[in-house]
Each structure stands twice: as C-alpha cells, then as structure tokens.
C-alpha cells in the first residue's frame, strides 16, 4: 500500500473529541498496511478442500485461528465468499460446513445465517433453511433477502 504525499502532510487529526498526533496516525496506517498484506483464509481452506475434503479444511481453520490468527485474514467476507464459491460449484454440503464456520466465528452477523440458510435451501433442506433465515431476521429484521426467501419457503 502506498501512502500519498497529502496523507504524510497531516500533523494530527481530531475525531470525536480525541486528538491523534502524527505518530499515532503513522501507527494506524502501518496497522492497515499489515492487515491488507495478510493472505485470505479462504484461499488456504479452498486448497485444502480441493486436495483433501471440507473436514480437513475445518480442522485447518481451527488450527490456524488458534495458532496463527494474525497471519491470515479471517474476516467474515472470506467465509461468505468461499461458501458462495462452493455453491457455484454445486458443492452444497461443503458450503454448509464453511457457512457453519462463519456462524461460529460471527454469531451476531445476520449475513452468516442468511448465507447458511441459502446453502441449506440449495441442498434441499427446507427446515434448516427456514430456521436460519428466521435467525437472520432476528438479528436484522430489515433483511429483505431473508424476508423474501422465507415467504417462498413457507409457501412450499
């Protein structure tokens, strides 16, 4: 990541009544650069799924998230992206396991439950799909996708 000249000219920033002097800003920018350089966990897990299976990838996740958490990007979007990649490959059961990891890692995110519900729906498991869409709507009552999908599932 390259820092622009204008950024380096800033002596301090006041945000929310708190003063951030230049050294604090430099430290924040270094942290952002470091975070951006971390490899995505989805790449490592996908490779393991291809070479072995999803159970090996789940085990790998548990090991890496404990032993090497700062070394990888474990963001929610990494799990969601990998799950949808697997759905695109029609590997619904594998996607379900990855979305379960996403729910485990981000239990307060409506999106993780919405994605898990979609994978269950694609796999033909209506009851688990409904359960997870309902949980998604508990966390975010404005989730239009969940509302729409539940109407369809209830009508079946």
Extents of the domains making up the chain: 11-155
Closest to 75 (Cα-Cα) out of 101, 113, 114, 93: 101
3-state secondary structure of 14: strand
Q: Which of 70-79, 111-120, 139-148 has the lowest mean pLDDT?
A: 70-79
Domain at 11-155: CATH code: 1.25.40.10
Which backbone phi and psi does 40 adopt, to 5 degrees?
Answer: -70, 135
Q: Which residues contact 141 (CB under 8 A, 6 or more apart)?
A: none
126 has pLDDT over 70:
yes
Q: Are residues 73 and 81 in contact, defined by beta-carbon separation less than 8 angstroms?
A: no
pLDDT for the residue numbered 37: 66
Q: Is the pTM of this model over 0.85?
A: no
């Amino acid at each position: 990541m390259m820092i622009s000249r204008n950024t380096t000219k800033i002596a301090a920033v006041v945000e929310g009544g708190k003063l951030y002097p230049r050294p604090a800003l430099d430290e924040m920018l270094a942290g952002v650069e470091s975070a951006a350089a971390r490899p995505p966990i989805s790449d490592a897990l996908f490779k393991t799924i291809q070479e072995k299976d999803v159970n090996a990838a789940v085990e790998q996740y548990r090991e890496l998230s404990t032993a090497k958490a700062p070394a990888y990007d474990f963001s929610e979007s990494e799990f969601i992206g990998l799950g949808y990649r697997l759905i695109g490959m029609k590997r619904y059961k594998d996607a379900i396991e990855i979305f379960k990891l996403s729910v485990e890692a981000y239990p307060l995110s409506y999106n993780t439950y919405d994605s898990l519900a979609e994978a269950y729906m694609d796999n033909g498991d209506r009851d688990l799909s409904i359960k997870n869409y309902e949980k998604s709507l508990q966390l975010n009552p404005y989730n239009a996708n969940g509302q729409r999908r539940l109407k369809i599932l209830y009508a079946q």
